[in-house]
C-alpha cells in the first residue's frame, strides 16, 4: 500500500482510510487513485468489516480532488476516460460496500473530494469543513458520479444551483442541505466519526448489512421491489441468534416482574 493512502483496521472491524498528501491538500494523483481503488476492492471481500471511515491527513483538507499538477500532462479524452473510469468505479464500489461508510471532514473537500464525500453514507464535519463542487470554474462537470449523487441528496433545483454556482459551502450550509450528520468542534471530525462507527459496530453484523441493503434498495429499485427486498431481509434476522436471545431475555424479565 502506497503511503499516499493510509489504512488501518481496528479489531472492532472499523477501517480508517486516510488521504495522505497534505502538501497538496490531499489531492490524488493517478498512483493514489489506483491505490484507493485497489483498497476498496479488497475491503469488499472482508467479512469482518463493520464500518469504514474516510478522512484526510492534517487539518486543512479532506481531499481536494485530482492533483492538477500530476494530471496536467494527461490532456487527451482517452486520459480523461481513464481517470473518471478509475475513480468512478472505485466510488461505485465504495458506496456498494455492505457496511456504513463515514466521511470525517476536517477542512476542504473540493472538486473530486466533494464527490468522494457525498459517496459516503454519512458525513461528520467540523467547524472548519468546506465542501465545494467547484468543477464548473475549471470548465468541467463532476465526473466521478457526484452529479447524480448530489441530485439524489438535495433535489434537482438545489443540485443545479450548487453545480453551476461552484461555490464553497460553509458548515451551516452543508448542514441545512442535509449533507452533514454531525457537526464537531475544530479538529474533531474523525473522533466523531469513530464514535458513530463504534456505536454501529456493537450491533449484529447481519443487522448492519441488512439496514444498508434495504436503504440502498430504496434508492435503486422501484418502490414495490424495494418493499420486497426489505421484507426478504426480515425473516432470517427474526430466527437469528441475536433476536432469539433478545426475545428470551425480554420474556424472562416479564416472567420475573
Average pLDDT over residues 182-198: 97
- How many helices (H) and strands (E) the chain has is answered by 11, 10
Q: Where are the alpha helices (DSSP H) in 21-131?
A: 30-43, 68-71, 77-96, 112-119
Tell me, yes or no, if the pTM score tops 0.85: yes
CA separation for the pair 231, 36 (Å, rounded): 35
Select from 108, 125, 129, 112 the least CA-distant residue to 22: 108
Q: How many Å apart are CA 225 and CA 35, to the nearest integer? A: 36
Q: For residue 75, count CB atoms less than 10 angstroms from its CB and return exposed for 0-12, middle for 13-18, buried for 19 or more.
A: exposed
Give the model's confidence band at 2: pLDDT under 50 very low, under 70 low, under 90 confident, else very high.
low
What is d(CA 56, CA 20) in angstroms, rounded to the nearest whole number?
A: 6
CA distance 55 to 21: 12
Q: What percent of the chain has pLDDT over 70?
A: 99
What pLDDT score was predicted for residue 75? 84
Higher pLDDT, residue 77 or 115: 115
Residues 64, 25: Cα–Cα separation, whole Å: 6
Pair 227, 193: CB distance under 8 Å: no
pLDDT given for residue 125 in this prediction: 98
The pLDDT value given to residue 137: 95
User: Could you tell me which residues come within 8 angstroms of residue 58 by beta carbon, excluding any fewer than 6 positions away?
Assistant: 22, 26, 106, 107
Q: How far is CA 13 from CA 84, 92, 201, in A?
A: 30, 21, 7
pLDDT at position 214 is 97
Residue 11 has pLDDT above 60, yes or no: yes
Question: DSSP of 141-174, one letter per residue?
Answer: ---SSHHHHHHHHH-HHHHHHHHHH-PEEPHHHH
Q: What number of other Cβ atoms are within 10 A of residue 21's Cβ? A: 21
Q: Which of 57, 79, 45 is nearest to 4 (CA)?
A: 57
Kindly list the structural domains of the chain, giving each domain's residue range(s) and its CATH number in brackets, ordered by start.
5-201 (3.90.226.10), 205-256 (no CATH)
Amino acid at each position: 500500500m502506497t503511503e499516499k493512502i493510509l489504512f488501518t483496521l481496528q479489531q472492532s472491524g472499523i477501517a480508517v482510510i486516510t488521504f495522505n498528501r497534505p502538501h497538496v491538500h490531499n489531492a490524488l494523483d493517478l498512483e493514489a487513485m489506483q491505490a484507493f481503488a485497489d483498497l476498496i476492492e479488497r475491503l469488499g471481500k472482508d467479512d469482518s468489516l463493520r464500518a469504514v471511515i474516510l478522512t484526510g491527513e492534517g487539518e486543512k483538507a479532506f481531499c481536494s480532488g485530482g492533483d492538477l499538477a500530476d494530471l496536467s500532462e494527461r490532456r487527451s479524452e482517452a486520459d480523461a476516460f481513464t481517470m473518471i473510469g478509475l475513480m468512478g468505479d472505485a466510488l461505485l464500489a465504495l458506496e456498494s460496500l455492505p457496511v456504513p461508510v463515514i466521511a470525517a471532514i476536517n477542512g476542504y473537500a473540493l472538486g473530486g473530494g466533494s464527490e468522494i464525500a457525498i459517496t459516503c453514507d454519512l458525513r461528520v464535519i467540523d467547524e472548519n469543513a468546506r465542501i465545494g463542487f467547484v468543477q464548473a470554474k475549471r470548465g468541467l462537470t463532476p465526473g466521478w458520479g457526484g452529479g447524480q449523487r448530489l441530485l439524489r441528496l438535495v433535489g434537482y433545483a438545489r443540485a443545479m444551483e450548487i453545480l453551476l454556482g461552484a461555490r464553497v459551502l460553509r458548515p451551516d450550509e452543508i448542514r441545512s442541505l442535509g449533507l452533514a450528520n454531525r457537526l464537531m468542534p475544530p479538529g474533531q471530525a474523525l473522533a466523531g466519526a469513530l464514535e458513530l462507527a463504534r456505536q454501529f459496530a456493537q450491533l449484529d453484523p447481519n443487522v448492519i448489512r441488512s439496514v444498508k441493503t434495504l436503504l440502498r434498495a430504496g434508492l435503486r429499485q422501484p418502490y414495490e421491489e424495494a418493499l420486497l427486498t426489505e421484507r426478504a431481509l426480515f425473516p432470517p434476522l427474526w430466527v437469528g441468534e441475536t433476536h432469539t436471545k433478545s426475545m428470551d431475555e425480554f420474556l424472562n424479565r416479564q416472567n420475573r416482574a
